[in-house]
Structures are given as structure tokens and as C-alpha cells.
Amino acid sequence: MASMSMARDFLTSFGRRSSTEQSQIRSIIDKFQRDPTNASLNLETHHRQRDPRMRTVRVSQFWRAVVIAPERGNSDYILVDVLPHDAAGDWLERHELTVNLMTGGLELCDIPTVERTAAEFNAPSAPAAPDMFHGAKDRDFTRLGVDERVVPRLRRVGSAEELDTLMMLLPQLQSDAVGYLASGCGVDEAYGFILGAIDATAPTTDIDPTDIVAAVARPASSAFFHTVDGEDELNDILAKPLDLWRVFLHPTQRRLAQAKTKGATRVLGGPGTGKTVVALHRAQWLAKQNPKARLLLTTFTTTMAAELSALLRNLAGPEIADRVEVLGIDKLASRLLRETDSGRGTNPPKDQELDRMFADACAAIGFELPASLVRHEWEQIVLAGGIESRADYFNAPRPGRGVRLNRAQRAQVWEVIELVTGKLGQQRTFLQLASNAAELAQRENRARYDHVIVDEAQDLHASHWRLLRALVAEGPDDLFIVGDATQRIYDRRVVLSRYGISVRGRRSTTLKLNYRTTGEICVGHCGSSVTTRSTISMTVPSMARATDHSGGERPRKSADTRRRGSNSTHLWRNSRR
């Protein structure tokens, strides 16, 4: 049976076709799988095609499938796209298949469009181009995998707009390399970023540029090409062709999702960097590694947990999804208490009601400091530290609180807290529930889970972390934490090491690619149209810049209605608004 790989563009095109057209395309795929040499496939060449390995297959009178037919053997094919007849011919005239000599990944290059677009920017009357690459030499570009034919065009780039446009025409990792050099990274630093994003063991020497079968299997190809593993996976992919996040991951995302770790791991990233996608793939991978493993996927709210549960089922199917427990962190705490606690309420008061209780208690004792400060003190010092007595509170450190409290003021704070908790009676706030559940889990001293994955970690309170640490024992792949400190709803800055969670050094990774899908067609300078993938910004130390890639943040089923800040990463040199 033939080995079948698919490009992202093929699945996108397949998903947008009618059911009749999809059936016709599926018939072509079935023929390939049975016998790729079957004459009825009508594999055709184009008289002006740029790459001799390209073919088209007639789907109908109107549609053509673009196929890569490797020269070595006849059993490995790549489905690239489905295009109208005339567009397929134009595509073949412009595109060629190359292997990136740094990463070994498979790439589709459109050199003619790069040259035409650059020529439109570089009119005869154009001013002399500034040095956009901070003195980088030609060999620096090629060392980072940039096609040597593109380098002269990049040298003549005269504006951020032009650089943006040309980068969107380059293959993914070539665009990454150009972005790093444009932001001022040294070539060695950029080399480390790119190679680290793929795999520390990725080959960088002895790459055969003609062996596309080996190239498509390398991690660097995973963002745009996927080799189908059997008929069941093929059916699953074609059933949901537009859910590209299920199949295609940027090499960085795949490496993190499938890493074997010695302990806790944290993945940080701004909006759109694919943190949730990584968390979902991590859950799937861990479930596949050990069918008997006890897995928990948790997040900040019940609404988000329901969303994650649906997405995980979409990604992994019911057999795997049913083996992963997906719960909001507060629901997890409440359930644990209901299992073992005798009778105290788990119906928390609303925020406005709690604020009024603290205001009334402060007024009752004549405390002059703001009631909001006292509530924050209770939540961030008392509950976070599991403090249960006045004496312990008097001795508790208060780092980073901003307001100093003398002993008399601490006594008043404690008096206010006692008044509020007394008025609450059997009722408990969400953070009280988390703190009580953490104390209970610590007393039990037994691991309920083998692996815990945390999404939206920036919003978790210290009590939540005490609870999670008690529910999973320290060890390989114990905690996988994803979050974004710039997107906090509450001012909850937590030092994880205080709760037995070490994520320092290599255990912490920051996703630097910001995936935001653009329109299918990006209208370029002077009216030229180029097919694009998506616009991203890459963050490196003290600088950000833009490139163009695929990937995706949480594949949302509904809008996120939570109130959040707007601390999105600025694009490189703040030139793209």
C-alpha cells in the first residue's frame, strides 16, 4: 500500500469542497492507496512546471489535485492541494519542492512570486535600501536555511512593509530565520532558537536535498506536512478536514507535547501562541503512552473545562478522551470536599457580597485601611499560606504586598477576617474551598493522579497549586503547566517553588510564535495577490518581529467572554499596527 502524506493546504481545500467534490477527491485517494501507478489516475505533467516531481490528477472537469510523486520508487506520494484547472497550471509554474539544508525539513518554495513582489517594491526611483539585517552576511542567511536565491532580494529590502510581505512568501522556517536576523539576533543565537524549536537531535549535516521521503518525516516538516498512519487515521482526518490544529503542529509545539520530562514543566506564551493546543496534544500523548495512567486536565473555570473536554474528544476520540478527567479547578476542589467533608456548604458567595462583608467589618471596628486590602490580605497571605491562627499570621512574611502593616494593623486585619469568616458560617468562598481541599489532600498523602495538565495557569491561586501538588506525586511527567502572565484576571503572582513545583531552567519554555490566521488572500504591494498562511509575531529577548506561519491558539468553539487585558505582543519594530 502506498505511503500517503498530506499538506495543510490540501486539507483546507478538501474541507471547502462540496460533498460531491469531496467524494470525488476521496475516490482519488483510495486509488492512490491501492495502486499509485493505476492508469485511471491520469497523472499529468505541465509543460512549464518548475519541479519535475509535480503532477496533477483530474478530480473533475474543473478541479485538479496537485500531487508530489517522488523519483525514488513509486509508493510515496504527497497530496499538496486541490485547485481549479487553470490555477493548478499556474501553481506548477511557480512552485518547487526543496529541503531546508539546516533543518532537513520539506518546503514548498515560490521563488518567482518572491522575485516579482520584490521587483514591485524596488522601483528604479526607490531610495537606497537601509541595512535591515544589522550587518548579517550572506552566509549567515544560508547557514540558517534561507534559500540562497532569496538572499539578494532580501538585501534590497527598503522598508518594514516590504520585509513583512516577502517574509509571508517564504517557507516557515526560512521566514523564522529572516525574522531573527531582522530583529538583531546574532546568527548563533538565531541558529539555537530555530534548532531548539525543532529538536535538539535534529540533523544538520549530511542532508540529502533530493530525498523528500526522508524530509517529510523530519520534525521540521510537521507544521505543513503529515504522513497518514493507516486507513483509520485517514478517515478521521478527512472527517474533520478544517480542524488543522489536530494534525499539524509547529515543531516547537510537537516537541513540547511529546517530551519525556523528569518533573514539572511550564510552557508560557502570549495570546495566540498555541499553548492550549499543546496542552491538548500533551493529554492525548500521555494517554497513549500509558492506557492505565490517571490523567487530569484542569483549568480556571468550568466553562473552559467543558470547552477543553469537547476539544479533546475532537482531537483524540472518545476512547482516549474518556480516560482523561477534565475539570475546572474549583469543581475539582468542591468534589474532593464532598467526598470526605461532612456538611459545610460549597455554594460560594458572589464577589460583590464578599466585598460588602469586608467593608462592613472594617467599618464595624473603625479600620481605616481599604477593605479591598484586607480581603486581598486574606486571600493572598492567609488562604495562600494555609494560615489558621492569629499567631501564624503575625509571623507570616508578606513579600511584594506594597503596604506595610505594623503589629497593631495586623491585629485589626485579623479581627476583620474573623468577623467575615464568622458571618460566612457554613458558606465558603471558592478560595476557601481550594484551601480546605488542599489541606485535606495533604493530610491524605496519596496521589490521585499520575499526570496533571493545567491550562490558563496564570489565574490559579496558591491554594490551587497546593491542591494540585498534593494530588500528583513528584516524578516523570507529573505536572504540565501552560499559561500567560500578561493575561491575568486577578493579581495572583505565585512562586511555584514554594509549593514543591520546580520549573526553573530547562523546565520552563516560552512559545515565541504568535499564530493569528489572516484571510486566504493577502493583497500585496502594487496590487499583487499572494496566498498566505497566517501572520505571526515571534518574541525573542527584548525584541519582537513578524513572520507568517501556521499553527493556532486554542481552537475555540465559542468566544471567550472573560474580561482580560490587551497586552498583545507588538510586532517587530512596532511597524505593523
pLDDT single digits (tens) 239-254: 998 888 888 888 888 8
315 shares a domain with 356: no
403 shares a domain with 454: no
420 shares a domain with 356: yes
Instruction: Identify whether 557 is part of a domain.
Output: no
79 shares a domain with 41: yes
Instruction: Identify whether 26 is part of a domain.
Output: yes
**In this structure, which long-range contacts are made by residues 90-97, counting pairs with CB atoms below 8 Å and at least 24 apart in sequence?**
91/66, 92/46, 92/48, 92/49, 92/50, 92/51, 92/54, 92/56, 92/66, 93/46, 93/48, 93/49, 93/50, 94/50, 95/50, 95/51, 95/54, 96/50, 96/51, 97/51, 97/53, 97/54, 97/68, 97/212
Instruction: Identify whether 282 is part of a domain.
Output: yes
**Confidence at 572, pLDDT banded by 50, 70, 90:** very low
Query: With 70 as the cut, is the pLDDT of residue 28 above it?
Result: yes
Single out the residue in 43, 76, 94 at which a domain terminates. 94
321 shares a domain with 370: no
**Confidence at 1, pLDDT banded by 50, 70, 90:** low
CATH number, domain with residue 277 = 3.40.50.300
Joined grid coordinates for residue 469: 501538588
pLDDT (average), residues 69-93: 84
Instruction: Identify whether 141 is part of a domain.
Output: no
The most confident of 106-120, 282-296, 400-414, 563-577, by mean pLDDT: 282-296
- pLDDT, residue 419, reads 94
Instruction: Identify whether 565 is part of a domain.
Output: no
326 shares a domain with 367: no
User: What whole-number distance in Å separates Cα of residue 38 and Cα of residue 32?
Assistant: 8
- pLDDT, residue 123, reads 63
Share of the chain above pLDDT 90, in %: 41
Give me the DSSP letters along 52-113.
Answer: TTEEEEESSSSEEEEEE--SS-SSEEEEEEEEEHHHHHHHHHH-EEEE-TTT--EEEE-HHH
At 548, give phi and psi (nearest 5°). Answer: -140, 115
pTM of the model: 0.76
Instruction: Identify whether 18 is part of a domain.
Output: yes
- pLDDT, residue 71, reads 63
262 shares a domain with 326: yes
Instruction: Identify whether 482 is part of a domain.
Output: yes
Higher pLDDT, 236 or 525: 236
Provide the domain count of the chain: 3
By mean pLDDT, which of 79-88, 189-198, 318-327, 538-547 is the weakest? 538-547
Could you tell me whether strands 324-328 and 295-299 are parallel, antiparallel, or unpaired per DSSP bridges?
parallel
Beta bridge pairs of residue 44? 56
Closest CA to 525 of 100, 148, 172, 126: 126
Question: Could you tell me which residues come within 8 angstroms of residue 282 by beta carbon, excluding any fewer than 6 positions away?
Answer: 256, 257, 258, 453, 480
pLDDT single digits (tens) 363-395: 999 998 899 999 989 988 898 888 889 999 998
358 shares a domain with 406: yes
Closest CA to 395 of 379, 382, 383, 384: 382
Question: Which residue range forms the structural domain that includes residue 21?
Answer: 3-94
Query: With 90 as the cut, is the pLDDT of residue 279 above it?
Result: yes
Instruction: Identify whether 559 is part of a domain.
Output: no
**Confidence at 325, pLDDT banded by 50, 70, 90:** very high
**Confidence at 14, pLDDT banded by 50, 70, 90:** very high
